[in-house]
Structure formats: structure tokens, C-alpha cells
Structure 1
Amino acid sequence: MTKICQLSLAVGARVHGVDLATDMSESTWSEIRNAFQQHSVLVFPGQNITVEQQKRFAERFGTLIVHDHLLPMTIEGHPECMVLHNNAQKPPGLNSWHTDNSGWLEPPLGTVLYAKITPRLGGDTLYSNMHAAYEALSPQIRDMLEGLKAVHDVKKAFGPDFANLQASLRKKGIDPNSHFGQFEPVEHPIVRTHPDTGKKSLYVSAPYITHIAGLSVLESRAILDLLYKHIETNEFVYRHRWHTGDLVVWDNRSVQHLAVADYHPQERLMHRMNIKGERPF
């Protein structure tokens, strides 16, 4: 029997009684889908699944994305599955709040991450509820943000500010400067509306954003710094301590996450899949 237990007052729920290695009934999927809309982050502990079984579950949420620049980091025959493998020779890269791939015109709906090897200590992932973050702003600030759009640029997220990411790509034969040079910046609303729930949330992904459209650099920085600090508020955050066999799926439209890079030189091995989303509105 499926049992869904809330993990924190902020965001997240743990799902018991579901074996993702087996076929899922429509009634079970309905419970999971409803829980996903309600809690935004779902944890399925103690899973023992193959890449195919992870893919089958992820495809329940939508079409999986194949990222050209990540192909050298995927499993052979499974271009949708990125291998996140860190150890003594490969320290973790990104260590900041973000939502996945916001620099694309249609960012991912969600992310499905499966823990194959976890460090003895460290390597947690933090999730912040962007619905709660929006609601906690004063009416005056919410009114000011309505209609504003932030400029997201892939080149910034894979630029010199993120040297570890650049190094990882270069080791796989991809030059970030030439590969991402073709990408044009995109504009996304700072306050976006969830297409399923209708709720409003903040959508500010710091690694990608260069400025706010129509504002000066000084004005943009003042507003963005305020929002970046705001989303870190403890009351919005759930901290997940990973265990081998955990599968976590989260909604990139309503949460931001931060993978804490505190476990080097221990080993951490994850399989990640992104679900195709829509253009934010």
C-alpha cells in the first residue's frame, strides 16, 4: 500500500510502498502525480532499479531530454541518462542554488536522480520552495516583480565562473566556449505560473541570469541579490541526506536545489534524467 509522508513543513514527501522495479498501477501513479503537485519533491527510498526502470518511471512525467553537451557523460545506449560521478580525482562542480537548465527556452519540468553510491558523510541536496518564497514577499515587492523578465544565458552557466564544470566538459572533449557560443540568451519571467496548479513562484536561477531585461546593471543587481538571499531562508528549505538506493524526483518549476559540495574526496555516483518542460509563463 502506498504511503506518502510529508518530510518538512517547507517542501518534500517520502513515498513508501512503491517498488519502481515493477510495473505501476494507474491508481498508484495517480497518487504519486497528486503528491508531486502538492509536495514538489518526492523521495523513494530503498530502490534497486536499472537504467531502463528509472527511465520508465521518469517517462511517466513526460518526454526525457537528450542534452548534446552531456552525451559524453551518459550511459551507452541511454543518452537521456547522465552519470554524475565524483571522487578523489573528480571533485564536485556546481555548489550554488539553481534550477536545472534555465538557460534553455523550454527548461526541464523536473529532474529524476537515483543514488548508486553515496558518501559516508556529506553530499546532501537542499531544496527550496519557490511558491513559499514568492508568498513570503511583501505585496509591494510582488507587484514590482510582476511583468519583469530575467535574461538567462547558457554561456554564463558554463563560463569561467564555474571552472569545475568547464574542466569536466573539456575532459570529455567538449570546449564550452565554442559549444555554447551558438546559444542566444533567453528571457523568462521572474514570477512564473505553474501550469498544473496555477500557483505563482519565483524563477531566478543565479548561475544563468545575467540581468533583468529593461533595467540597469545596478537596478538588476539590487533586485536579484535580494531574491537570491531570500530563497535561502531556512523556512523554505528541506535538506535531503542521501542513502544508496534513494530516488528523488523534483519539480524544477516550483523548487530550486543546491547540491552541497562538501564530500570530496569521497565517492558519489548518481544517475540523472531531465523531463521536458514548457516555456515559463
Structure 2
Amino acid sequence: MSNPYRHLQTRPIAGALGAEIDGVDLSRELPAEVFEEIRRALHENLVIFFRGQRLTPQQHIDFSARFGELLEVPFVRALDGYPAILPVMKGKAETKRRLFGGLWHSDMSYAQEPPLGSALYGRVIPPYGGDTMWANMYRAYDTLSDRLKQMLDGLNAVHSAVRSYGSGGAVVNNGDPAHKMDVRTDDRAVQEVIHPVVRVHPATGRKALYVNSTYTLRFDGMTQEESEPLLQFLYEHAARPEFTCRFRWSEGALALWDNRCTQHLAMNDYDGFDREMHRTTISGDRPVGVALRV
């Protein structure tokens, strides 16, 4: 198969999404033509991976910031001296009710303007386990029946951080020294926002399913009980194996993904080992739904 890029070498890792990119040193300032091919590779593969990188926190920030302004993530203590870097950690002695990122989700869909994407860099990697999975939300939408698509195109859903970061939230530890991450709750955790169930990607124009089991509470205008059967179907449908890829981390690997058309899941299968990742989060815009025809 011919290489579709002039400056990159890409290798798909699964049929649904995901590609590794070789021959790029992210610690250097990339020429504009190389960066634009990386952006195109992201739009075409939804999540892209760079192995063998040696990045300082500032170099990680500098690369990520070429995609847009970086966000400071609420609820979680940032890396000392680098408010744009979220340390995602689990210590070898930790036990948790739920791993941070351990359910399918699109980052911060509880925000009025959810992130464009995220860049996650592997610093301490267990000898096995700790993989991350991604799912293609274009494909999740495209494979629905026409009748269900028609119905979903006209629906909105309510998103909130309450189940993760509210009082008693699944990943809140409020500074418990037994946990490496400091995850705290505040008033923002109970705020609700409304987003379209099907969002139109601003760069590709494609439709993507935009509900997730971590932050979506219910359909707008419906009760949770009324919403639950269809939402559960959509969650399970979106995570069908043929819609996913799975990445085995190595030290110095960086994953860059598009939150507008993917979901992801962190595997919690490495008890007894340390794992430390650094994440930057790239600002996005308010999701736009399908224009309804009159």
C-alpha cells in the first residue's frame, strides 16, 4: 500500500482506527508541512501514536499547543510547575474503587466546550497491562439503522461530572495519601450541560455518536429511567470490538486522539506496578448537532 503522506510513515494498528507514526521527533519544532500532515493523519486515523519520544514537560506542552490553547483540567491536581499537564498515575500499592479513566468516555464532555483532543505521554509503564482502548464514534453512528439515526439526530443529552467528581464520586480521593493522584470535588461537579447526541465534526463534516457512560446522565427532556434502555444500547454498541483499537504502551510513547469522534478506556490490569502518564488537554468548541430539516 502506497504511503499517503510525504513526510510521515504511518502504520495502522487496527481496522477501525489508530495508526503509529514513525520518524518524527516531537521534541523538535516541526516544520509547518510536517505538522499539517500530522493534523491530517489525526483526522484520518482518529488516534495516532508516536513511540520512542524523549520529551520534557515543556516540549510536551509545546507540541500539544500547536493544535490549540491548552486547558487546565478541573478536579485533579496538575503537575507541579506545569498547570497544563495532568499527571495520570496509579501506584503499586493502590487499590481503587475505579481507575481514573477506567470507563468508556470522551474527555470532559461535561464541559460547555469539551476538548478537541488530548495528548498522553508514557513516563512509567508497567511490564504488562495498562493498555488503552479507543472506539470510533463515526463508525458507531454509521452502523445504526436509518430509523434510529433519524431519531438520534433530533435528540440532545445531559452531561455532568457528578458520578466521577461529585460528593462520593467514583474517582474522588480528596488528597488521600494512599493514592498518587489528588482528585477533589467542588461545586462544578454537579453542573449539567446539554450536547447533541450526534455531533458534526467541525473539520471533517462527519457525524459521530456523542454519548458516553461516564458523563452522560439522560436525554434532555426525559427522565433517567426513560433514557436508560436506549443509552445502555448505545454504550454497548459503541464499544463493539470491531469499532476499537488497543494500544500497548511503552516508555516514551505518546498518543494523540480526537475527543470529538472517539471514546477511550484505560485498562486496570497491572496491580502491584507503578504507572505514570502525563496528559495535555487541547481546548475545543461547543458541539454542533445535525441541522433538522423542516
| TM-score, structure 1 as length reference | 0.93
Measured at CA, do residues 213 and 31 of structure 1 come closer, stay the same or move farther in structure 2, by a change above 3 Å? same
- Could you say which residue in structure 1 is the equivalent of 2:291? none
Q: Is the 8 A contact 1:93 1:162 kept in 2?
A: no
Tell whether the 8 Å contact from 2:173 to 2:182 is kept in structure 1 after alignment.
no
Question: Deviation digits for residues 221-256 of structure 1, max 9, x if unmatched?
Answer: 111011011011111000011111100000000000
Name the CA shift for 1:88/1:104 in 2 (closer, same or farther; >3 Å): same
Q: 2:130 maps to what in 1?
A: 123
**Which residue does 1:58 correspond to in 2?**
64
Contact 2:157 2:220 in 1 (8 A): yes
Is 1:159 aligned to 2:166, yes or no? yes
Distance 1:41 1:152, change over 3 A: same
Aligned partners of 2:50 and 2:174: how far apart in 1? 29
Aligned to 1:197: 204
Match of 1:83 among 58, 83, 87: 87
Which runs of no fewer than 5 residues in structure 2 stay unpaired? Answer: 1-6, 289-294
SS of aligned partner of 1:69 = coil
The answer to whether the aligner puts 1:12 opposite 2:23 as a matched pair is no
| 1:110 to 2:117 alignment | yes
From the superposition, tell whether residues 29 and 210 of structure 1 become closer, same or farther in structure 2 (CA, over 3 Å).
same
Q: Supply the distance in 2 between the matched residues of 1:173 and 1:50 (Cα, whole angstroms).
A: 22
CA spacing shift, 1:161–1:42, aligned 2, 3 Å: farther
Are 1:212 and 2:201 an aligned pair?
A: no
2:143 corresponds to 1:139 = no
Task: Specify every segment of 5 or more residues in structure 1 that has no aligned partner in the other structure, as ranges.
Answer: none
**Separation in structure 1 between the aligned mates of residue 130 and residue 183 of structure 2, nearest angstrom:** 26
Amino acid at match of 2:242: E
TM-score (norm 2): 0.89
Alignment of 1:259-278 (within 5 A): 259-278=266-285
- Residue in 1 aligned with 2:39? 33
| Aligned length in residues | 276
Which of the pair is proportionally richer in helix? Answer: 1
Native 8 Å contact 2:106 2:263 kept in 1:
yes
Structure 1 residues 142 and 110, CA gap change in structure 2 (3 angstroms): same
Give the 3 Å change call, closer, same or farther, for CA 120–229 of structure 1 in structure 2: same
Q: Which moved more, 1:199-208 or 1:167-176?
A: 167-176
